[in-house]
Amino acid sequence: MRFVTTGIRGAFVIEPELIEDERGFFCRTWCRREFIEYGLNPDLAQCNVSFNRKKGTVRGMHYQVHPRGEAKLVRCTMGAIHDVIVDLRPGSNTYMEWIPFELTADNRMMLYVPEGVAHGFQTLACNTEVFYQMSEYYIPEAARGLRWDDPSFNIDWPVEMTAISERDRNFANFIPEFERHVKV
């Protein structure tokens, strides 16, 4: 695997290194030893799959607060997504900044999202599936979110939003006083 730094500290794009032959290819998508070498959280508590019927579906922006913060490893296994992370760690030099990534079934890239960074995506194709590996269990009391259209961030979504959950639609706009819950 090749670990590529991003504009947000601790977030990496991870590119699998394909070993190809006449059968197809083989690659690793997770290695505890390499995660530790790069200072990434190697814990794995649960894995999730998100299937999205419509192009333009938005999920997020989600995170969990300290002490239940979660790191995520995200990969698009079918279709394509415009993946976005927002740094919510007070004291970080990229606090309140966001950056996008295009993850597709074809490019096989993964995104490592560290604790304290919100994550969400918009589907770029119908019938898109996303696979997540999580370092922490889902804890409803620790779960938080940002509005997908919060003016504090002005995230640029590439296509018209066609579907979003009521929960995601109704997140409050970001209020900095809540930053005490996010551990740097």
Record the tokens describing residue 43, joined without a space: 């814990």
Alpha-carbon gap, residue 166 to 137, rounded angstroms = 22
Record the tokens describing residue 17, joined without a space: 């290194």
Is residue 132 among the annotated active site residues? yes
Among residues 66, 132, 137, 138, the one annotated as catalytic is: 132
The answer to whether the CB of 143 falls within 8 A of the CB of 75 is no
Phi, psi of 127 (to 5 degrees): 55, 55
Among residues 62, 82, 119, 181, the one annotated as catalytic is: 62
Q: Which residues neighbour 91 within 8 Å (Cβ) at sequence distance 6 or greater?
A: 184
Is residue 63 among the annotated active site residues? no
- Residues with active-site annotation: 62, 132
